[in-house]
């Protein structure tokens, strides 16, 4: 009897551990996709989504010019910074404030904030080029900028710029920001591969999507869900989602490439895909 117990003890312990692991693993979410296109556009990309479910993105018209846009319900607003030759809207918050960047006639990138119909340039002192990549409901903007030293991430609370450099990174490319103030930071390692971290203001944590040659985190929700674009070792492009610390890879049906860019607190992610006919279109996906 004692021998039987000595065998059963480890077995029951293993069964209990496996049961705990199964319980801790969240169910694989089912993604439901919806295509987003701007009427008359030759290509459409959705980069950001707010908690009010408004979308921010860019499209190319038939003349080949790039425009930014915001889509709130069925209301489409084209957003073109008057100082730029091309405009890209990358993020939007629940108040309808839009962050992005425009390119100048000299092909330089300049971050901007569009708020109440007014454009404001965003860039730390000494910037040689900048992009605003995220904006949360508190109005804090995240992005990147280049200076004489290199490329850095930044956050801007409306008054103060904070420079962000991931330890060990050759360049820090910035990322999104949640309402909890947590940022995603994409960075280049010494082999020029893209890696991803989350940053809570004091600590960095690497959160690369498994199996990715290049792992580029985009938006982050208030509970820490992260959406990605990734390139695998076979040079294929996919979207990925980090949910409760676990990862899933996804592809828009009937696509050749999928990219994940934005996420909100309503379990909606956005991005772009290349269709089998070679057209770039935007998408929303609920999970």
Task: Delineate the domains of the chain, giving CATH numbers in brackets.
Answer: 31-286 (2.120.10.30)
Query: Is the pLDDT assigned to residue 5 strictly greater than 60?
Result: no
DSSP symbol at 95:
T
Q: Give 29's pLDDT tier (boundaries 50, 70, 90).
A: confident
In this prediction, residue 25 carries a pLDDT of 61
Give the mean model confidence (pLDDT) for residues 42-65: 98
- Partners of 32 in beta bridges: 286
Give the mean model confidence (pLDDT) for residues 132-146: 98
Query: Is the pLDDT assigned to residue 130 strictly greater than 90?
Result: yes
pTM score: 0.90
Query: Is the pLDDT assigned to residue 227 strictly greater than 70?
Result: yes
Give the mean model confidence (pLDDT) for residues 32-43: 98
Give the whole-angstrom CA distance, residue 133 versus residue 144.
8
Q: Give 142's pLDDT tier (boundaries 50, 70, 90).
A: very high
In this prediction, residue 26 carries a pLDDT of 66
In this prediction, residue 18 carries a pLDDT of 31
SS (HEC) of the chain: CHHHHHHHHHHHHHHHHHHHHHHHCCCCCCCEEEEECCCCCCEEEEEEECCCCCEEEEEECCCCCEEEEEEECCEEEEECCCCCCEEEEEEECCCCCEEEEEECCCCCEEEEEEECCEEEEECCCCCCEEEEEEECCCCCEEEEEECCCCEEEEEECCCCEEEECCCCCCEEEECCECCCCCEEEEEECCCCCEEEEEECCCCEEECCCCCEEEEEEEEECCCCCEEEEEEECCCCEEEEEEECCEEEEECCCCEEEEEEEEECCCCEEEEEEEECCCCEEEEEEEC
């Amino acid at each position: 009897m004692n021998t039987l117990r000595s065998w059963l003890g480890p077995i029951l312990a293993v069964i209990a551990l496996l049961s705990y692991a199964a319980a801790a693993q969240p169910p694989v979410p089912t993604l439901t996709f919806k295509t987003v296109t701007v009427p008359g556009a030759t290509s459409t990309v959705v980069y950001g989504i707010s908690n009010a479910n408004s979308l921010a993105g860019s499209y190319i018209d038939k003349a080949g010019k790039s425009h930014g846009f915001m889509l709130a319900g069925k209301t489409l607003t084209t957003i073109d910074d008057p100082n730029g030759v091309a405009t890209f809207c990358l993020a939007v918050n629940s108040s309808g404030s839009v962050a992005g960047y425009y390119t100048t006639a000299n092909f330089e990138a300049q971050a901007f904030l569009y708020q109440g119909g007014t454009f404001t340039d965003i860039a730390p002192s000494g910037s040689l080029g900048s992009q605003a990549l995220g904006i949360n409901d508190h109005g804090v903007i995240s992005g990147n900028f280049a200076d004489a030293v290199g490329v850095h991430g930044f956050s801007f609370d409306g008054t103060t710029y904070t420079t962000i450099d991931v330890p060990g990174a050759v360049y820090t490319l910035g990322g999104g920001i949640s309402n909890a103030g947590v940022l995603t930071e994409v960075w280049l390692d010494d082999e020029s591969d893209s890696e991803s971290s989350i940053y809570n203001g004091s600590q960095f944590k690497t959160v690369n999507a498994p199996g990715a040659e290049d792992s580029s985190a985009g938006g982050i929700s208030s509970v820490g869900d992260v959406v990605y674009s990734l390139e695998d070792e076979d040079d294929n492009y996919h979207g990925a989602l980090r949910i409760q610390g676990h990862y899933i890879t996804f592809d828009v049906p009937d696509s050749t490439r999928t990219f994940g860019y934005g996420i909100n607190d309503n379990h909606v992610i956005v991005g772009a895909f290349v269709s089998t006919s070679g057209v770039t279109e935007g998408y929303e996906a609920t999970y």
